[in-house]
Structure 1
């Protein structure tokens, strides 16, 4: 199949790719959306559903050095590195450690913050434009702690967040009981983030955006893009469904973006994957009013239309290893003691997906190869949070308009 009447081929139909496709179609571009799966069936289907604008720090800090032995030895730990994957992961982790130096670390913080500060407003604009504002509950989120020994690190985190301009309130145990009465009275307190929120159904969000995109003329083809090359007046993409041609291509394939980026630009991107797990509890639709994260247990619980989603465990094991679903079930065990009554796990379903991560915790958002190649991938665990603002920035890049500064996210930083 050869497509010659396409302005932009978007490769990747996750939340970032679909949001970008809709944005570009609204700007008058003829858009072809391509993915090996149906829209929203990758990491976008099973993410935590948390609009995590408060998470302005990189995925790791210097404490990762102390945690490395546990990462290798504890298969149920919140952050795990599969020892069989260690040789392949070492170059990526080496880059990550270099980015923990003060100057690059601060650049990462500034880059994450710039996206996150704009994310809530961008999402509200986008959902309002398709008359689906109800899918986002901008009611804030809560980080709770259990032990007095955690109060000092919590206060230190609050101070760091305030230095970055993140709105944060200190809540007592009385505040917890008033806002979320089903939480355990043994919880000491926490931090409340008023400029955050949660999505009632992340997969439905992708579906609604995809429907709007199709209404604006976006075509979708289910195909696996195996490679590509630049043409004098555009790009050619090789796939198991034939050849696609377009004037421009947007690579937004999440954790699967590295090979196509290399084929088109010649640059090897140090992209790895955080394998994330969730456990969906259909019998717990009314347990929490907003997303709650445990400081000590390091996982999040998000109320959704279909139940309560427990998420947050991270595993580095690559794209090929089979999932370790016991990690998903471990989330239910971690929840014990956080509520007055334990969560009901009857009918629970586990899931694993791939979060695309770069060693500086920043995505690639760029326009390269004389504008023929656009890039929007590598948002790590903030893909849902940053999708709407990324779409707006991609739209401005295509128009070559002012008002967006993407220097921190350029491809040539690697």
Structure 2
């Protein structure tokens, strides 16, 4: 199949997807299952961006925005502590100031509550959507639905934990309070320092995030989806579709385009829609410990230390720090190694860091903590990006929404399916 814009309508894909992360690949597979001819374009192989190194946790319990009013009190530490759990590089402050201003504006009661509602709605649909998607490719074994823990150590943290449990109850998040001994009954290698925590029975984790992307990509190829390793830098919308411009001057045409290239989505969105999106990036780090496959049976997050540990089939993944420093500055891998230091005291014996592998990736973040999921330009431009640290969690439900938008070509049509949430909070025009 030729992809260059050559006027041959028979070779033109129904939809070109820009972005081969978990969102783009899930969408590609779902669209191909609907019978559409799909082309996926990305500068990297499938899953080699942020999807490669996410925590692997299906975080359906995380229904609150990435920041609350306490961020004002934490701002000095964010600027001064290079190893803190939430870091703002002072050199990036001038460029990030408009984004943080919007974030603070969204902390007012009404927009904050709207963000909570929007996140919760997607999360409530997420696991069912993942079951459907994985079942369709005989990949259900990749998903472990055993719940997860949020644990605490210090007596002073008990009140914070109880306040969080109360807030989650209000949002209808399934949550149980467990004492330390009960937690150690499930995860016996955790130390006696663990006083207790919250158990989230409706969460899950995947055994290998990269393997999930690869399995979906393989199934998409079997369905006829084609892939091209191209860096798309611009494009234009015409009366009969979309033309995309690659960095090497190649041109690709399709009847529709889906922009799902994560932290890199803003320039192409502006080029094709005229809307400037306030998209920034949370630089997330992980430390992979290949010799710790059997430490934990489920994902465990530390309330005080603010990081997560997820058991994968190729080791224990420590993840969860956030750094705002943009797309260009090189990674500070000391932040990844800091995760190992944070783990000390959480287990009966220290973790084995032999052959440990540090990593950094870019999470696409919008100041209201909601993704853009929409159909614009008379249905010719579809959008699915900005899921911040919930990209894996919300990928399958996003793919279902996009498949409905692609089929019906109108925003309102997607809402008619009972599985699809109200899409108003995720529309692009909230930034117009």
Q: TM-score, normalised on structure 1?
A: 0.99
Deviation at 1:210, TM superposition (A): 0.2
| 1:251 pairs with 2:253 | no
Give SS of 2:182's match.
helix
The equivalent residue for 1:28 is 35
Deviation at 1:165, TM superposition (A): 0.4
Match for 1:7 among 14, 17, 36? Answer: 14
Deviations 1:250-290 (A, max 9, x none): 00000000000000000100000000000000000000000
Give SS of 2:111's match.
helix
- How is 1:55-94 mapped onto 2 (pairs within 5 angstroms)? 55-94=62-101
User: How far apart in 2 are the matches of 1:105 and 1:305?
Assistant: 37
Deviation at 1:124, TM superposition (A): 1.1
Deviation at 1:326, TM superposition (A): 0.3
User: How far apart in 1 are the matches of 2:205 and 2:165?
Assistant: 21
User: How far apart in 1 are the matches of 2:229 and 2:387?
Assistant: 23
- How is 1:109-128 mapped onto 2 (pairs within 5 angstroms)? 109-128=116-135
| 1:282 pairs with 2:290 | yes
Deviation at 1:176, TM superposition (A): 1.2
The equivalent residue for 2:334 is 326
| 1:399 pairs with 2:407 | yes
- How is 1:269-348 mapped onto 2 (pairs within 5 angstroms)? 269-348=277-356
Match for 1:186 among 169, 185, 193? Answer: 193
Give SS of 2:235's match.
strand
Give SS of 1:250's match.
strand
Moved more, 40-49 or 402-411: 402-411
Match for 1:367 among 375, 386, 391? Answer: 375
The equivalent residue for 1:231 is 238
User: How far apart in 1 are the matches of 2:194 and 2:32?
Assistant: 48
User: How far apart in 2 are the matches of 1:186 and 1:139?
Assistant: 23
The equivalent residue for 1:216 is 223
Deviation at 1:112, TM superposition (A): 0.2
Give SS of 1:257's match.
helix
Deviations 1:104-152 (A, max 9, x none): 0000000000000011111111111100111110100000000110000
Deviation at 1:96, TM superposition (A): 0.1
User: How far apart in 2 are the matches of 1:173 and 1:293?
Assistant: 14
Deviations 1:320-354 (A, max 9, x none): 00000000000000000000000000100000000
The equivalent residue for 1:413 is 430
**Structure 1 residue runs without a partner (length 5+):** none
Match for 1:267 among 275, 283, 303? Answer: 275
User: How far apart in 2 are the matches of 1:106 and 1:176?
Assistant: 32
| 1:206 pairs with 2:213 | yes
Deviation at 1:398, TM superposition (A): 1.5
Aligned residues: 414
User: How far apart in 1 are the matches of 2:188 and 2:161?
Assistant: 22
Give SS of 1:117's match.
helix
Deviation at 1:399, TM superposition (A): 2.0
Give SS of 2:296's match.
coil
Runs of 4+ in 1 over 4 A off after TM superposition: none
Moved more, 177-186 or 39-48: 177-186
Deviations 1:65-96 (A, max 9, x none): 00000000000000000000000000000000
The equivalent residue for 1:131 is 138
Give SS of 1:313's match.
strand
The equivalent residue for 2:179 is 172
User: How far apart in 2 are the matches of 1:285 and 1:129?
Assistant: 28
User: How far apart in 1 are the matches of 2:140 and 2:20?
Assistant: 21
Give SS of 2:347's match.
coil
User: How far apart in 1 are the matches of 2:296 and 2:17?
Assistant: 37
**Structure 2 residue runs without a partner (length 5+):** none
Deviation at 1:186, TM superposition (A): 1.6
Q: TM-score, normalised on structure 2?
A: 0.95
Deviation at 1:240, TM superposition (A): 3.0
Give SS of 1:393's match.
helix
Deviation at 1:153, TM superposition (A): 0.7
The equivalent residue for 1:385 is 393
Give SS of 1:365's match.
strand
| 1:19 pairs with 2:19 | no
User: How far apart in 2 are the matches of 1:196 and 1:124?
Assistant: 13
